[in-house]
Amino acid sequence: MAESPSPLFDAHLHPEGLSDDDLESMRLFGVEEALIVTHHKPHPALKAKDILEDFDHLLGRELRRCERAGIRAWAALGVHPQSLPPRGLPEVLSALPGYFTGGKVVAVGEIGFHRGGEAEAEAFTEQLSLAKRLKLPVVVHTPQRSKETLTRRALTLIRASGIGAQQVLVDHCNAKTVRLVLECGHTAGLTVHPDELSAERAVAQVRALGTERLVMNSDSGYGASDILGLARAARLLEKGELSPAVIARVTRTNARRFFRIDAA
């Protein structure tokens, strides 16, 4: 039997798109902890009520399923730019603060830009100011298309919001955007996913940039995903003879510190 895998924290997970077997497999390959990030199925007539029901579902059933598979989980709640309700955002935002009690909801997210546009910018700005007011960490989504343009636009709105740079994780970075994000003082998410970075490319970024404020995740759950992506990246880091301390930082402890898990 091989030695047991190093403990991993998957900092971006959508368990509602994963089976119990998938979660068990992730646990078997070392994922001991995870952050569940809200994502609603895009729907043209989405209402505030549907989003709030999704929050409840995530905090009830999905957290329990992760825990049952042996994965300790926390949640980030927010309205994803891909699924903004045509009306009803104010209602969601006024209900949101009530969820940040009890220690399981540790961040606002994922929020940001998906296609761009004024409605997305407005929802993003409002949720940034909510996070600032509640002093919470934020997970910012960046899309596959127009990644660089929309990342720059997100960074501008983040700066304008006045939220602390250290409170913000900009996720799904690529080789171009990761430096921009780090230069702004934010944490950068490297997503090992068929549509984002291969494990090899994610590892190359760690080699090039070091470990400070880098956090790896898999974004598993919707469409094509790689439930073993994070484990594969950790293994590649090991094979590349990076020290256990370095590996632990990008696959676990940076995320725990960012989401203040020890304090939760």
Three-state secondary-structure class, residue 73? strand
Are the CB atoms for 36 and 15 separated by under 8 Å? Answer: yes
- Scanning the structure block, which residue is given the tokens 């992730």? 26
Query: Candidates 89-97, 121-129, 159-167, 212-220 — which segment interacts with Zn ion by CB under 5 A?
Result: 212-220
Candidate segments 142-150, 152-160, 211-219, 227-235, binder of Zn ion by CB under 5 A: 211-219
**DSSP 8-state symbol, 164:** -
Q: Rounded to the nearest whole angstrom, what is the least distance from the CB of residue 3 to Zn ion in the complex? A: 31
Q: Which residue has the tokens 């891909």?
A: 82
> Which is closer to Zn ion, CB of 62 or CB of 219?
219
List the structure tokens of 242: 């990076």
x-or-dash pattern for Zn ion, window 171-210, by CB under 5 A? ----------------------------------------
- Return the range that interacts with Zn ion (CB under 5 A); candidates 98-106, 179-187, 198-206, 214-222: 214-222
* Dihedrals phi, psi of 154, to nearest 5 degrees: -65, -45
- Smallest gap from Cβ 122 to Zn ion, in A, equals 21
Q: Which residue, judged by CB position, is nearest to Zn ion in the bound state?
A: 219
Q: Which residues inside 216-255 make contact with Zn ion, applying CB under 5 A?
A: 219
Q: Using CA atoms, how far apart are residues 190 and 121, in angstroms rounded to an integer?
A: 23
Longest dimension (CA), the chain: 55
Catalog residues that contact Zn ion under the rule CB under 5 A: 219
